[in-house]
Amino acid sequence: MSYGASAALQAAVFKQLSDDTQVNDLSDGAIYDAVPAGAVPQTYVTLGPEEVRDASDCSGGGAVHRFTVSVVSEAAGFGAAKTLAGAVCDALEGASPNLDRGRLVGLWFERASARRTGTGGAIRQIDLRFRARVEDD
């Protein structure tokens, strides 16, 4: 197993989201690898936690990456957040971006959870979970 392609996968996912016109338009370009300190936009996308498991076989090293992309919004209701979450799914599901290390075999949507957070439930957060299979060179 190798965790070596993890940074390359993260960079590719970030680029895929940043280059997607619909995701960019709906988030006003607020797509973060790490949410900045201080004030943040009303709605944004951020890369989140990741779990990686060995998927090596007789052909070589590999891993299955399960990672979260979150849509966070202070807009009233879940409508805006769900629309943006749908765009994130469209941008990532089945995408095949090139990695700086390794090769992406596939990228699939697994599940989502939507909830209210923050004081009085004023913030809507949708966590989208994806699974990626990566072969490491």
**How does DSSP assign 17-86, residue by residue?**
HHH-HHHHHHHTT-EESSPPSS---SEEEEEEEEEEEE--BTTB-EEEEEEEEEEEE-SSSSHHHHHHHH
133, 74 Cβ separation under 8 angstroms: no
Rounded CA-CA distance 69/86 in Å is: 12
What was the pLDDT predicted at 136?
85
- Give the domain CATH number at 75: 3.30.2000.30
Domain extent, residue 64, equals 6-135
Number of domains the chain contains: 1
> Is 37 domain-assigned?
yes
Q: What is the pLDDT of residues 3-52, one digit of tens each?
A: 889 999 999 999 999 999 999 999 999 999 999 899 999 999 999 999 99
Residues in the chain: 137
> Is 1 domain-assigned?
no
Average pLDDT over residues 94-121: 92
> Is 61 domain-assigned?
yes
Q: What is the pLDDT of residues 80-94, one digit of tens each?
A: 999 999 999 999 998
> Is 88 domain-assigned?
yes
